[in-house]
Structures are given as C-alpha cells and as structure tokens.
Structure 1
Amino acid sequence: MAEKIKLLYVDDEAANLNVFRIAFKRKYDVTTCESAIEGLKLMEANKYDVIISDHRMPEMTGVELLEKVGNLYPAMIRIIISEYVNDEIIRNAIKNFGFNGSVGKPWDADELIALIENK
C-alpha cells in the first residue's frame, strides 16, 4: 500500500479543524493546527506534502502563510480556503505566488481532493 499524503490544515476555528480531520483522516495523514505560527513550527519538525490554510486568521493571513511556505518549501502543494474565494487578494496570490488553488467555504471534499492530488 502506498504511503498516505501528509497534509497540514491550518484554521483558527477548532470546529473547522475537527470537521476537516474527520472528513479526510482515512484518506490522508492529517495534522491540524490553529495558527499560522504553529503551522510554521510544525513544518520545521515534520515533512508535509500539502498545506491547506484558511485565509482570515489573526496574526498572519493564510495568503501570508502560504507565501512563506512557498519560499521555504517550494515543492509543497499550497491551497487557500476562504469565504471570499473570488477576492482580489486570493486571485492575485494564486497568480503571483504559485498557489495550487483555492476553495470556498464551506469547502467541497471532491474539489479539495482534486487539488490535493493535482488532478
């Protein structure tokens, strides 16, 4: 059996983290955390294939986080989740920082799987 994709999901809302973990834990090796700062610390200690981040968070936005991740780990798949998926900031980040995509809230599991698996 192939090794599961290692995925890090960052969201400041614990309920969103729980729903995500439940939805994807059978398919992927899922780690979750409640802040961008915590996510960056986790990435220093662990290797992930994919990072998915909510955009609107305190301390650092998801766009800022994924931009940093792209500089540190250019091969990592980066996906942003936002209620405002057509927001100019999100569109520009995808174009300028090479994000692999964006998904609206509430997210669709099949749409996320397609982005995670680069389909």
Structure 2
Amino acid sequence: MCNVTRYQKNMSILYIDHEINNLNSFKASFRRDATVYVADSTDAGMKILKEQQIDVIFADHQMPDMTGLEFFKMVSGEFPESIRVLMTGQAYSAEFKHAEVRGYFHSYISKPWDEQDLRRLIVAHSV
C-alpha cells in the first residue's frame, strides 16, 4: 500500500463524475488522506473551484453537460496551479494527446480506476 503520509499537508482534491457510485467510492477511499470534494456536474465542480483552493482535480471525460476535456480546457487558464487528471473509459486518442501537450490536463487515468494507481499519482504530484 502507498504511504499516504507523503501527501502534501491539507491537500484538497475535487472529483467530478455524473455517476454517484463513483463519487461515493472516491470519497470513501480518500477522505482520510485529504480534503475531498465531489461534484456530479461540471457546473457544481466549477462552483467548488471558485470557493475552495483545490490541489488536484479529477474529472470524468464522459459527462452529460460537457466533457471532462472541455471542462479542463475551460479551467486550465483560470486555475493553472491545480493538477488536472482526466479519467475515461475511452482509449487515449489524438484529441487527448493534443490537449495534454497544450497543458489542459497533466495525467490520464483509465476507468475503472484503481485506488492504488490514484494514490501513486496523488503522491507523485504532491511532492
């Protein structure tokens, strides 16, 4: 198991996904390690970003109101200090590669996500 004591003190994480079960699982997995905010829409995620200092943003790509990639394109300029992680069940495409090169997101995680992979990613970005 990953050593969570290596997390940055008071790290805050936002997870955006329209699937409530995913939100509940994520929050249950990480609530002891960081301050976790969850949002079931990109609008709710944007509201949290405007009200809280967020260190890491995870967003599902397949959202009903806008894709995770569209959301990251929108917030990357306004919240450049946040690490942005795209989560999707889709294959890594040319569109994703182009967006990553442009800096819209920093990492890509395949769904269904693995808790230990997410922990390693969080630790890597928190040091």
TM-score, normalising length: structure 1: 0.90
Is 1:51–2:57 an aligned residue pair? yes
* Aligned-partner SS, 1:111: helix
| Offset from partner CA, 1:10-55 (integer Å, 9 cap, x none) | 0011011001111111111101010011111111111111100000
Distance 1:57 1:69, change over 3 A: same
Counterpart of 1:30 in structure 2 is: 36
2:75 maps to which of 44, 65, 69: 69
* Aligned-partner SS, 1:8: strand
In 2: Cα distance, 1:85 partner to 1:118 partner:
23
Q: Which blocks of at least 5 consecutive residues in structure 1 are unaligned?
A: none
In 2: Cα distance, 1:26 partner to 1:40 partner:
24
Counterpart of 1:97 in structure 2 is: 103
RMSD (CA atoms):
1.7
Is 1:13–2:19 an aligned residue pair? yes
Deviant stretches of 4+, over 4 Å: none
Distance 1:114 1:98, change over 3 A: farther
The structure showing larger relative contact order (alpha-carbon pairs under 8 Å, at least 6 residues apart) is 2
Q: Which blocks of at least 5 consecutive residues in structure 2 are unaligned?
A: none
How far apart are 1:62 and its partner, in Å? Answer: 0.3
| Offset from partner CA, 1:71-102 (integer Å, 9 cap, x none) | 10111100000001423322222222342101
Mean CA deviation greater in 83-92 or 24-33:
83-92
Identity of aligned residues (%): 32
